[in-house]
Amino acid sequence: MSGVNVFVSPPLSSPRQSRVRRPLRIAIFGFGTVGSSVARILVESRPEGLELTHVFNRRIERKRVDWTPADVEWSEDANAVLASDVDVVVELAGGLDPAGDWVRRALDSGKSVVTANKKLIAFYGIELERLAESRGCHLKYGAAVAGGIPVIPGLEQGLAGDRIDRVEGILNGTCNFILSQMDDGAEYTAVLAEAQARGYAEADPTEDVGGFDARAKLAILMRLALRVSVNPEEIQPRAIEQVSAIDFSYARDLGCTIRQVARAERAGADVAAAVGPTLVALRSPLAWSRGTENMVILRGRYGGDVVFSGHGAGGHPTAVAVVSDLLALAHGSRRVEIPAVKASVGAEFEVPHYIRFLVDDRPGIVAEITTCLARERINIRAILQKPGHPAHALPFVVTVEPCKSSALQRALGSIRTMDCHRAEPLDLQMLE
C-alpha cells in the first residue's frame, strides 16, 4: 500500500466551551457479566459525563435489576434503541452476528461505539474505524484485548513514539488457568471441567483452547503494535489439548513451564505470527502469569521491553476498560492514529524446539529420529528420557538448537512415517 499521506492535525488550542455540556447517553447492548459490571461501575462511581440510559438484551425481563436509576430504559428491541437519542452504543454481545450489524448501524447513524468484541475488531476493525471517521463519531475497543490491562491505550498513547518489533502475550485466561493448574499436577480433562464449572470456559471450549480467541486478540495487537493489517485466519493456531502431564515434567527439567503464547514479530516486509502451547523459561515474565491472568510484552526498538500484566478477563476488569473508553469519549480524547499497512502472515520463526515422542520401544529409534533431523541440518541440544515408563508407551524428549520452523516440519514429516509412534510427536517452540 502506498499513497499520499497528508498529515492533518486539529487545532492545538481548544476553547473551554468544547467540554462536555451534557452527559453522554449510553446504551448497553448485552447485559451479561461484563454488561452488568459496566452498569455497576456507572451507577456506583458515577463518572462525570456518563449517563446510562438504555439496556438492550434479548428476553430482557430475565436481566432487569433493581439497582439502576429508575429512568433507564430496558428493551429487547435493538432497532428502537439504535433509533433512540443515545450518544454511545456499548456493544458487549460478542461475535460477528448480529453484533456487527448493530455496530455498523450505530456508527452509520453517527453514534460512537465502545466494544469488547475482539472477533469483530480483528476481522472488521479497519473498515469500522473508517466508517466512524466518515460519520464524525468514534470506535473504541480498549476492552477487546487483555480486558483490564491498559495495553491498547498504552500502545496508542504511551508507546506511539516507539517502533514495536515484537509482541508476545498470554491473551487467553482460560488456557492460562488450565495450563497453570496442569503445571501444579492436574490433568487436562479434570481442569477443563473445573474451568467450565467456574465459568472460565464455555461448554464448547474450542474458541479458547483451540487458540482462536487469542488469535483474534493477537491480530488486533499486530495492528497497533507492528502496524500491520492482517487477515486473522492466516494465523494458524495450535490447540493446547495435546499437552500432557509428562510435558510439564520434562519442561521443568529444562527450567521451563508451558503457556499458551501468542506472538508476532517483523520478518522483512511481512510478519511471522504463532499462537499455541509454548515452552517458556521459568525466569521469563511469561512464566509469572498464573490462573486467569493475562500478560503482554512489547519489544520497542527505542524503549526496550515493556511488560503489562493483570486480570485479562472477567466482568469487572473488562468493564473498567469499557468505562475508561467511555470517559475518553466524554473528554474528547482522540486516539493517536496509528497507520498500518496490509501484510501477509508467515509462521517462520527461528527458535529452539522441544519434541516429545511416545513410542513402542525398539532398537534404533533415536538413531532414525536424529538422522531425520540431521538431514535438515538441525542440531540436537538434549535428549531426555525419564525412567518408570513401560517400553510399549515410552515418552522421551529431544530438544533442538534454534532452527527454522519449516525445516523442523520437514524433519517431522519424515519422522512421522516411522512405525514406532504411539501418539503424534508433539513439537513446541521454546522461548528463552
Q: Mind telling me the catalytic residues?
A: 217
- Give the Cα separation of 239 and 242 in Å (integer): 7
Q: Smaller CB distance to a second copy: residue 67 or 302?
A: 302
CB 167 within 8 A of CB 294: no
Q: Residue type at 370? A: T
CB 225 within 8 A of CB 298: yes
Torsion angle in degrees (nearest 10) through CA of 248, 254, 258, 262: -160
Q: Smaller CB distance to a second copy: residue 81 or 320?
A: 320
Q: Smaller CB distance to a second copy: residue 177 or 354?
A: 177
Neighbours of 72 (CB within 10 A): 20
Instruction: Name residues whose C-beta falls within 8 Å of residue 310's C-beta, 6 or more positions apart in sequence.
Output: 146, 147, 148, 149, 293, 294, 317
Q: Smaller CB distance to a second copy: residue 87 or 427?
A: 87
User: Which residue carries 524428549 as its cell?
Assistant: 397
Report the nearest approach of a second copy to the CB of residue 226 (Å). 10
325: which 3 cell numbers? Answer: 473508553
Phi-psi region of 364 (alpha: psi -120 to 50; beta: other; left: phi over 0): left
Q: Smaller CB distance to a second copy: residue 7 or 67?
A: 7
Report the nearest approach of a second copy to the CB of residue 281 (Å). 13
Residue 306 DSSP label: E
Report the nearest approach of a second copy to the CB of residue 218 (Å). 19
Report the nearest approach of a second copy to the CB of residue 225 (Å). 12
Report the nearest approach of a second copy to the CB of residue 64 (Å). 22
**Core vs surface per residue 258-294: b (16+ CB within 10 A) or e:** bbbbbbbbbbeeebbbbbbbbbbbeebbbbebbebbb
Report the nearest approach of a second copy to the CB of residue 300 (Å). 6
Per-residue DSSP letters for 37-87? HHHHHHHHH--TTEEEEEEE-TTGGGT--SSS-TTPEEES-HHHHHHSS-S
- Give the Cα separation of 13 and 35 in Å (integer): 36
Q: Smaller CB distance to a second copy: residue 10 or 185?
A: 10
- Give the Cα separation of 388 and 196 in Å (integer): 33
Report the nearest approach of a second copy to the CB of residue 4 (Å). 7
Q: Smaller CB distance to a second copy: residue 32 or 47?
A: 47
Identify which of 48, 50, 53 has the alpha carbon closest to the alpha carbon of residue 28.
53
